[in-house]
Chains A and B, each alone.
Chain A
Amino acid sequence: MEFQIDQIEELKKVHPDVQMAEEAGFTYFFLPQFELPDGCIPSKVDALFCPMPRDGYQSRLFFSEIISGCTNRNWNGQARILDQTWHAISWNINPNQRLIQLIRSHLDAFRK
């Protein structure tokens, strides 16, 4: 999947360690030590962003562990992706946004 350079640059400004990988036709952005909204436990986790439609969601943000301490959510997505077990909540967002905005919209689920 191709992404516009300016959107990638925008993503790198906020997440300088971002990396990409592909599996089963999906593109993923790996966001190591991703900072979560206030109150989340833990405060930082590895995250994996899939900007493409997957399992009925227009895009999906996966976490290396289930997050607590914030709004309770429906953790309905446990998946093996790129040799790791990931967890995701049931959360749909408007797909017509820039990459960085998509990620922020996913994080809205965890804001109090």
Chain B
Amino acid sequence: MKRSEIIIRIPNTMLNLIKNDLRRPHDFAFERIGFIGSRHKVLSTGTTIIFMTDYFPVPDNQYINDPDVGARINSTAIRESLQRIIDHKIGVFHTHYHTFSANSPEFSFTDMKDNPEIIKSFGYADKKQVHGMIVLGNSEMNALVKIPGESELRQVTRIIGVGYPMTISIPAKTIERTSKKRYDRQSFLGKNAQLVISQVRVCIVGLGGGGSHIVQQLAHLGIKNYTIFDYDKVDETNLNRLIGAGLIDVTNGTKKVDVARTIIESLHKDANIKIVDDNWMNTPANLQECDVVFGCVDSYIARRDLESECRRYMIPLIDIGMDVHDGYENEAPSMAGQIILSIPGEPCMHCLGFLTEPNLAREAAKYGAAGGRPQVVWANGVLASQTVGIFVDLITGWSGKTVIMPYYSFDGNSGILMPHPRLKYTSNTCEHYTLKNVGLPVFKKV
């Protein structure tokens, strides 16, 4: 039986802070140790998501001079961690940094001898929390965790550094062989890029004009793990833009999720596809376990809800949309669109001025009177292609860019896709969703 997945999510900003601390030289220790505070949620799908939210460096005077090991800490350091577990009801991870590790770092003999005992003692402080040990490498990470109710430490499935680009670590034991020849032409994306592409789980909410293009491109790219949401069936008005749909699908009333599945399976017989022909809000766990979400929805309110969920679960969201507006008097209609990359910790759709209370209110007032809105295949194609390009850079970092371009606007009349002018006036931080506000919500007694 396949074991349930364990996914760690940690903001890149915190990861950098931890690495900077652990890199500092110590008077006598060869390396440094720290502790990471975490919270977790076991989803109804069985997947455990661990959110790393706090970092506690070990003060210099809590190290013991032991030349036989890289670093040894005293009982005060452990006791303080135990106290944090009790006081804050958090999980705690022992961490250190293998600066010499080029690829996936492995735990050393000493790590495996000493650290499991520390993790075990954390479990005595609070057995309901997930505790563990995580070793950081220069580009990847490795972690073992103690899941409540289980006796052995377990290897995590994926460790996701959330930021731009993401740092996605896939512990060696889960590596699958991918055909080298098939992806030869995209090998410039990086040494581990195809492995990451084949292992990440993507979620696509909405499989209409935009979503169907995205599915097709992701399948060609080599994505194998999908969660797709759409409760609609193909009708005749979809045929001008819905990739993969034909006349027979109108006759048969094929579900849009099944059109998407056919596209994916034509390229990957071994694809792992979770099909949900329902609103994502009715089975949110299916979305929460994904590594990146594509929002292909058609209302401001739906975008607001999707972003809110993605922020709470520390998941990057890429939103796309297009619209056609009537022209003034004798002018041609104007076609416009947008792509928004919403990364936890970075500006959100409210910060970017895309979601505002007036536009949400206007939309709510028109509820039920929307009707069929104009959509065309080529504009959806332009936006979807750029979206997939953003996604590939996000998960592989192939371009070397570290600065996010979170908001693109598309002028469909001139065919120009460019950074949105509003970006000039947008702060780099988000005041609507904080990185502390992740996982289970915290309610305060009034």
Residues of A within 8 A of B (CB): 8, 11-12, 18-25, 29-30, 53-57, 76-83, 85, 90
Contacts and interface: CB of A to CB of B under 8 A. Distances in A.
Given A20-B443, A25-B432, A53-B357, 13 more contacts: A19-B445, A20-B444, A22-B437, A23-B308, A24-B311, A24-B348, A53-B361, A54-B357, A57-B364, A82-B443, A85-B281, A85-B284, A90-B367
Contact of B350 (A25, A83, A90): A25
Contacts of A18: 446
B445 A56 contact: no
B441 A83 contact: yes
Interface residues of B, number: 32
Contacts of A20: 443-444, 446
16 contacts: A8-B446, A19-B443, A19-B444, A25-B431, A29-B446, A55-B301, A55-B361, A55-B364, A56-B361, A78-B281, A79-B305, A80-B305, A80-B308, A80-B309, A83-B441, A90-B367
B368 A55 contact: no
A41 to B, nearest CB: 20
Interface of B: 279, 281-282, 284, 301, 304-305, 308-309, 311-312, 348, 350, 357, 360-362, 364-365, 367-368, 431-433, 437, 440-446
Nearest to B368: A76
A51 to B, nearest CB: 12
A4 B171 CA distance: 53
A111 B432 CA distance: 36
Given A21-B441, A24-B350, A80-B284, A11 B309 contact: no
Shortest 9 CB-CB contacts between residues of A and residues of B: A56-B361, A19-B443, A82-B441, A55-B364, A56-B364, A80-B305, A85-B281, A21-B443, A24-B432
Contacts of A80: 281, 284, 305, 308-309
A12 B348 CA distance: 34
Contacts of B301: 55, 79
Contact of A19 (B281, B364, B446): B446
Contacts of A24: 304, 308, 311, 348, 350, 432-433
Contacts of A78: 279, 281
Nearest to A79: B305
A22 B309 CA distance: 14
Given A53-B357, A85-B282, A21 B442 contact: yes
Counting chain B CB atoms within 10 Å of each CB, which of A8, A12, A23, A83 scores highest? A83
Contacts of B442: 21
A83 B367 CA distance: 24
Contacts of B446: 8, 11-12, 18-20, 29
Contacts of A21: 441-444
A60 to B, nearest CB: 10
A84 to B, nearest CB: 8
B437 A56 contact: no
A106 B445 CA distance: 23
Nearest to A77: B364
A54 B364 CA distance: 10
Nearest to B440: A83
Contacts of A55: 301, 360-361, 364
Nearest to B300: A55
Contact of B362 (A30, A56, A81): A56
A23 B284 contact: no
B350 A56 contact: no
A92 B311 CA distance: 29
Contact of B367 (A22, A29, A76): A76
A54 B304 CA distance: 12
Contacts of A83: 312, 440-441
A58 to B, nearest CB: 10
B440 to A, nearest CB: 6
Nearest to A85: B281
Contacts of A30: 443
A12 B361 CA distance: 31
A88 B441 CA distance: 20
